[in-house]
């Protein structure tokens, strides 16, 4: 593990789940205090946001932060976590007096993990007066929205959109999560350096930018490792319920481990179908698997021993994590996943950049963006998902990953 951590630290100096992409149909600031204080309330639309806006500063101005993600549909586990994680951070900041004395108004929009609806949500937030965007949650949607925010020169930080296409040629967009390529490299290195398996199969979604991006880099790095890829089978968004063919090929090839650079919904089906055919390899994934324990009607016992790379573990023993988990459970009645932690960090990153730049709510959207871009190259942030996080000029984050294993129905950090 020491060797792995050293390798990963060097590799991920340019940034390395949770985001995460979406099955694309249309498809410091320290982590802060964790008092669950009453501040701004999450709004489902612009009018609701205005009705529930926090008490304004003396000059009547607020920072308006928008957020976008799927709070309904198959990827809702991700979007709701982002919605709540950002909401909790904003409540804390407002309770503490805001950012340089200015409070935050927050508006979250549901995009149902659909590109067109995500752009519509972005336009709704613009009409509301959004100055900064936390989002979007999923990669496919984030690529679509990043094109719009780049045209508007509006500052965008995505908690979990992990595709490099989000930040490529978009100098207004920054990531909190690991990028897809580095997740693939990191997964291959972990399996090889820790001798997890000698024969590895891969099942991936060739129609999805998140999955295919991780897969490509995994294969490239596997050539430098001690294990062999014995089977690599794809599926698409139009055919993602029956995985019997892919699993049979992996089984026939003698795979000891199946790498799943996919999302939790499809992964739950794969684990269920593998069990039905008496195929019991080790399963290994990236941040897209975070959420598999919450799939409705899924036998979570089948997920025992599943491994994944992710920057956050709710059972970590550090004070910041435990305070965050306690506040999150009290506020929303659920244990936070990495997407909640990424969104929480995203808000505190915005706070740090605003404080560093001296930006004010009276600044135009474009002027505010320019100030924040300048600050992002100068700040470091200790958050829940990484210590001393910093950002390259291309918007990629620098931080180290953590390896998790599902044990007794919980995500446990591998020491």
Q: Largest Cα–Cα distance of the chain, in whole Å?
A: 70
* Burial class for 58, CB neighbours closer than 10 Å (0-12, 13-18, 19+): exposed
pLDDT at residue 40 in the model: 35
Structure confidence at residue 180 as a pLDDT band (50, 70, 90):
confident
Q: Rounded to whole angstroms, how far apart are CA atoms 374 and 316?
A: 33
pLDDT at residue 210 in the model: 87
Q: How many CB atoms lie within 10 A of CB 367?
A: 13
Residue 68: alpha-carbon gap to chain centroid = 13
The token pair at 239 is 């055919």
* Burial class for 182, CB neighbours closer than 10 Å (0-12, 13-18, 19+): buried
**174: nearest Cα among 341, 342, 338, 12:** 342
Q: Are the C-beta atoms of residues 77 and 264 closer than 8 Å to each other?
A: yes
Give residue-wise pLDDT tens across range 332-344: 999 999 899 999 9
pTM: 0.73
User: H or E element: which one contains 310?
Assistant: strand 307-310
Give residue-wise pLDDT tens across range 264-282: 999 999 999 999 999 999 9
Give residue-wise pLDDT tens across range 97-108: 999 999 999 999
Q: Rounded to whole angstroms, how far apart are CA atoms 163 and 104?
A: 28
Mean pLDDT of 113-136: 97
Q: Are the C-beta atoms of residues 118 and 21 closer than 8 Å to each other?
A: no
Residue 406 contacts by C-beta under 8 Å, 6 or more apart in sequence?
292, 293, 303, 304, 305, 306, 307, 412
pLDDT at residue 60 in the model: 59
pLDDT at residue 140 in the model: 92
| pLDDT exceeds cutoff 50 at 42 | no
| pLDDT exceeds cutoff 90 at 290 | no
DSSP string, 332-357: HSS---HHHHHHHHHHHHHHHHHHHH
């Amino acid at each position: 593990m020491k060797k792995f951590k050293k390798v990963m630290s060097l590799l991920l100096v340019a940034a390395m789940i949770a985001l995460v992409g979406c099955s694309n149909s249309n498809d410091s600031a320290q982590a802060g205090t964790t008092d669950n204080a009453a501040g701004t309330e999450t709004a489902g639309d612009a009018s609701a946001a205005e009705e529930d806006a926090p008490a304004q500063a003396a000059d009547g101005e607020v920072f308006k932060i928008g957020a976008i993600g799927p709070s309904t549909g198959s990827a809702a586990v991700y979007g709701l976590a982002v919605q709540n994680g950002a909401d909790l951070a904003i409540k804390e900041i407002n309770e503490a007096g805001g950012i340089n004395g200015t409070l935050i108004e927050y508006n979250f929009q549901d995009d149902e993990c659909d590109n067109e609806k995500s752009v519509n949500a972005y336009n709704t937030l613009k009409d509301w007066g959004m100055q900064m965007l936390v989002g979007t949650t999923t990669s496919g949607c984030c690529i679509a929205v990043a094109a719009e925010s780049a045209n508007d020169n509006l500052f965008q930080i995505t908690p979990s959109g992990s595709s490099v296409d989000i930040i490529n040629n978009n100098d207004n967009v920054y990531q909190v999560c690991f990028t897809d390529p580095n997740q693939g490299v990191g997964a291959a290195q972990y399996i090889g350096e820790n001798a997890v398996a000698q024969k590895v199969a891969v099942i991936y979604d060739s129609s999805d930018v998140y999955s295919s991006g991780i897969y490509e880099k995994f294969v490239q790095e596997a050539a430098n490792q001690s294990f062999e890829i014995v089977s690599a089978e794809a599926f698409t968004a139009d055919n993602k319920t029956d995985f019997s063919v892919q699993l049979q090929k992996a089984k026939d090839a003698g795979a000891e481990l199946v790498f799943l650079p996919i999302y939790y919904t499809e992964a739950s089906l794969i684990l269920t179908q593998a069990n039905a055919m008496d195929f019991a390899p080790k399963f290994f994934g990236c941040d897209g698997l975070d959420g598999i324990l919450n799939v409705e009607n899924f036998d979570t016992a089948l997920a025992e021993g599943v491994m994944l790379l992710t920057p956050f573990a709710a059972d970590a023993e550090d004070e910041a994590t435990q305070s965050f988990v306690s506040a999150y459970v009290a506020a929303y009645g659920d244990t936070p996943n990495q997407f909640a932690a990424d969104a929480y960090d995203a808000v505190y990153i915005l706070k740090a950049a605003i404080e560093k730049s001296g930006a004010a709510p009276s600044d135009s959207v474009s002027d505010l963006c320019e100030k924040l871009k300048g600050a992002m190259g100068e700040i470091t942030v200790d958050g829940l998902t990484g210590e001393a996080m910093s950002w390259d000029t291309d918007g990629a984050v620098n931080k180290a990953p953590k390896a998790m294993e599902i044990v007794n129905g919980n995500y446990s950090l591998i020491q």
